[in-house]
Amino acid sequence: MARLLITGGTGYLGQVLLRQARANGHTLAATCFSQEPPSGDGVVWVPLDVRDSRAVAETLDRLRPEIVIHTAFRQTGPDVLAITGEGAGHVAQAARAVGARLIHMSSDVIFDGERDAPYTEDDPPAPVSPYGEAKALAERLVAAAHPEAAIVRTSLIYGFDAVDRQTQFALDVASGRRAERLFVDELRCPVYVEDLAAALLELAALPYAGVLNLAGAERVSRHEIGTLMARAYGLDPAAIPAARSAESPVRRPRNCALDSSRARSLLRTRLRGLREVLRDLGRITE
Ligand SMILES: NC(=O)c1ccc[n+]([C@@H]2O[C@H](COP(=O)([O-])OP(=O)(O)OC[C@H]3O[C@@H](n4cnc5c(N)ncnc54)[C@H](OP(=O)(O)O)[C@@H]3O)[C@@H](O)[C@H]2O)c1
């Protein structure tokens, strides 16, 4: 059992990591930023802005975690580079300084998505969005400050205890609350938050250093994800209009599928594909 610190403990992944890590018997600390953390959950909660390098260093020096899982980030806004990019560098420096194992969360959108084949760990980032650029900067800063860190590239994260952003968007479209279309040519390997959290906690106990893809086993388009989720929630999948990302006026990464075969040989935890998870949970029958 280890002393574990989750940055972004109030976030979607952070909350599931905390729940699973508590069940595994770890001693837990977590950081929050704008949200009020829950009370009485046995977690030492610390307000922290990862842009503040001194506060990051002091926090880790005080908590002395053995493992840090860095999930905190912002996807949009003027501070995306400072929070998502430089903030990750601050966490990596502080984790190295106190001798903590570091798992850094990265993303499939560090790629331009112009390939047909899934991306492996050896593929270099080629971002086409400010978020992708910030995540690519984060990877560089983390690798430089903490060479033993594991840099985990993952894909769209979904779950059912709390509905994730992507699924909520699709359900809003399927139920007519939003008039949008979902792309048939944007490919991802969505990962079930429970599988991802279990894989991260397993990885934290291993000496693996460098990039590791942790994404779901099935490659699906955003439109397919939306229609499957609509069915899982008893909505009409035919109500979701299709569009092509290639025709979008904004350049968006298309095929960001990740090859997670290395993780399959390294970890006991299985990262199931979307259809498999939905079948296992009894949400679709086919
Ligand atoms: N969600 C996905 O589909 C997806 C896909 C690929 C990769 N990822 C990666 O997975 C990780 C977790 O994603 P998520 O969806 O679970 O995130 P999330 O729900 O948006 O949570 C983000 C967390 O970051 C914290 N935060 C924001 N600004 C901060 C700052 N300046 N200093 C410190 N903490 C700050 C937030 O704290 P408050 O809530 O208290 O403000 C929150 O706890 C991220 O690194 C993301 O890049 C996610």
Name which residue sits closest to atom 36 of ligand 1, judged by CA: 8
Phi-psi region of 210 (alpha: psi -120 to 50; beta: other; left: phi over 0): left
CA angle 26, 105, 272 (to 5 degrees): 80
**What pLDDT score was predicted for residue 186?**
96
What ligand 1 atom has the least distance to the C-alpha of 135? 47
- For atom 1 of ligand 1, which residue has the closest CA? 157
Q: Could you give the CA distance from residue 19 to residue 29 in angstroms, rounded to a whole number?
A: 12
Q: Give the closest residue to 93 by CA, choosing from 126, 130, 122, 52.
A: 52
Cβ neighbours of residue 129 under 8 Å, at least 6 residues apart? 109, 252, 253
Task: Point out the ligand 1 atom lying closest to the alpha carbon of residue 73.
Answer: 24
Q: Whose CA is nearest to atom 20 of ligand 1?
A: 11
Q: Give the dihedral sign, CA 206/14/105/86.
A: negative
Given this model, what pLDDT does residue 286 score?
A: 76
Domains and CATH numbers, the chain: 3-157+190-213 (3.40.50.720), 164-188+218-257+273-280 (3.90.25)
pLDDT in tens, 87-107: 999 999 999 999 999 999 999
Q: Does any ligand 1 atom lie closer than 6 A to the CB of residue 50?
A: yes
* pLDDT for residue 243 is more than 90: yes
51 lines ligand 1 (CB under 6 A): yes
Q: What angle do CA 201, 5, 141 make, to 5 degrees?
A: 90
Query: Residue 246: what pLDDT?
Result: 87
β-sheet with 210-213: strand ranges across: 44-47, 27-32, 3-7, 67-70, 101-107, 150-154, 210-213
User: Is 94's C-beta closer than 6 angstroms to any atom of ligand 1?
Assistant: no
Ligand 1, atom 8: closest residue by C-alpha: 107
Centroid of chain to Cα 96:
22
Q: What is the pTM of this model?
A: 0.98
Determine whether 122 is exposed, middle or buried from the number of CB atoms within 10 Å of its CB (0-12, 13-18, 19+).
exposed
At 168-198, the pLDDT tens digits run 999 999 999 999 999 999 999 999 999 999 9
* Token digits of residue 22: 């508590």
Pocket test for ligand 1, best of 19, 33, 163, 200 (most atoms within 8 A of CB): 33
Q: pLDDT of 114-128, one tens digit each?
A: 999 999 999 999 999
- The predicted pLDDT at position 108 comes to 98
Ligand 1 neighbourhood includes 74 CB (under 6 angstroms): yes
HSE of 164 in the Cβ direction (CA atoms, 13 Å)? 21
Structure-token pair, residue 51: 């842009």
Cβ of 142 less than 6 Å from ligand 1: no
User: Atom of ligand 1 at shortest distance to CA of 10?
Assistant: 43
Cα–Cα distance, 193 to 16 (Å, whole number): 7
Read out DSSP for 153-197? EE--EE-TTTT-HHHHHHHHHHTTSS---EESS-EE--EEHHHHH
Tell me the average pLDDT across 2-26. 97
pLDDT band (50, 70, 90) for residue 250: confident
Asked if residue 1 has pLDDT above 90, the reply is no
The token duo for 94 is 């502080």
In the predicted model, what is the mean pLDDT of residues 73-95? 98
Q: What is the mean pLDDT of residues 69-88?
A: 98
* Mean pLDDT, all residues of the chain: 97
* 246 CA from centroid of ligand 1 (Å): 28
| CA 27 to chain CA mean position, Å | 22
Which amino acid would we find at residue 17? L
Could you give the angle at which helices 165-174 and 222-232 cross, rounded to 10 degrees?
70
**Which parts of 24-86 fold into alpha helices (H)?**
53-63, 80
Residue nearest to atom 21 of ligand 1 (CA): 11
